[in-house]
Amino acid sequence: MSTVDLTGKVALVTGGGSGIGEASVRRLADLGAKVVVVDLVEEAARRVAGEVDGLALTGDVAHPATMPGVVARVEDELGRLDVVHLNAGVGGGQLGVDERLDVDRYRTLVGVNVDHVVYGTCAAVPALRRTGGGTVVVTASLAGLAAMPSDPLYTMTKHAVVGYVRAAGAALAGEGIRMCALCPGFVDTLLLGAAREEFTEAEFPLLTPEEVAATLERVLAEGEPAQAWIVQPGSDGMPYRFRGVPGPAGGQLPPDVVLGRNA
């Protein structure tokens, strides 16, 4: 596997106090980075940051002021920003197909899974420009590539994330800023909740957070802009190959400005 040296670099991980985020923090620290651990739970952020000699910051990433404040603090205290892992996420927990929709839970879901990615990207990109380039990796899900009928709302948010990464990643590529998505299958974290017992009874293999973090390293070493990397148990991570869509019957291309060539 290709490796990457992050000595002297600064990395930021949201949702870094547990699960995939915690594993990513440790992986990035092992690669030499100074890691900023962002989590809603202050105790968790401090614990993980303390174990890797990192910086702990707390806040609600779904709030529009949080990520700009985090990035400003990182630049002020550490002087630069090179790698951003927008990993924080929550499960849907409801179908969202009829009058039983819990609007508050829905808004929280969209706020953390979608808004946080946009706020985090918009806050990080100017800092990455000042550094001279860098990488943004967003934790999506296989539910961003395929339907998960047990949780349509979660599926919706992760499809939105993958679409955003593909478009924004292409728009940023010319600036030396890579943006990619991680699309893991089912991971053995607290997000599984009570369903973990069902996976165990079915003898279904679950990913470990460390396996997802290993693919994060591969993305940093080998990833191309706008890719979505699949992570499944027992196999190396790999970029997903999206199929094209049919164009007009005459074969014409959209105007350059739509494709971003003149952006």
User: What are the tens digits of pLDDT across the range 170-189?
Assistant: 999 999 999 999 999 877 77
Sheet of strand 238-239: strand arrangement: 55-58, 34-39, 10-14, 83-86, 134-139, 177-184, 228-231, 238-239
| Number of domains forming the structure of the chain | 1
CATH of the domain at 159: 3.40.50.720
pLDDT tops 90 at residue 205: no
Assess whether 154 carries a catalytic annotation.
yes
1 domain-assigned: no
Percent pLDDT > 90 in the chain is: 79
Mean per-residue pLDDT, 180-202: 75
Query: Quick one: pLDDT at residue 112?
Result: 98
Say how many C-beta atoms besides its own lie within 10 A of residue 208's C-beta. 14
Contacts of 27 (CB under 8 A, 6+ apart): 210, 213, 214, 216, 217
Phi-psi domain of 53 (left: phi exceeds 0; alpha: psi -120 through 50; beta: other): left
Mean per-residue pLDDT, 196-207: 68
2 domain-assigned: no
Between 13-22, 76-85, 250-259, the lowest mean confidence (pLDDT) is in 250-259
User: What are the tens digits of pLDDT across the range 94-144?
Assistant: 999 999 999 999 999 999 999 999 999 999 999 999 999 999 999 999 999
Query: Quick one: pLDDT at residue 263?
Result: 44
The rounded distance, in Å, linking the Cα atoms of 101 and 54 is: 40
18 domain-assigned: yes
27 domain-assigned: yes
User: Which pLDDT band, with edges at 50, 70 and 90, does 239 fall under?
Assistant: very high
Mean per-residue pLDDT, 28-36: 98
Mean per-residue pLDDT, 2-16: 93
When the pLDDT of each residue in the chain is averaged and rounded to a whole number, the result is 92
User: Which pLDDT band, with edges at 50, 70 and 90, does 193 fall under?
Assistant: low
SS3 content of the chain, % helix, strand, coil (to 5): 45, 15, 40
Query: Quick one: pLDDT at residue 115?
Result: 98
5 domain-assigned: no
3 domain-assigned: no
4 domain-assigned: no
Query: Quick one: pLDDT at residue 199?
Result: 61
The residue from 106, 119, 154, 164 that is catalytic is 154
Query: Quick one: pLDDT at residue 108?
Result: 97
Question: What range does the domain containing 204 cover?
Answer: 10-259
Query: Quick one: pLDDT at residue 260?
Result: 65
Query: Quick one: pLDDT at residue 225?
Result: 97
241 domain-assigned: yes
pLDDT tops 80 at residue 261: no
Query: Quick one: pLDDT at residue 21?
Result: 97
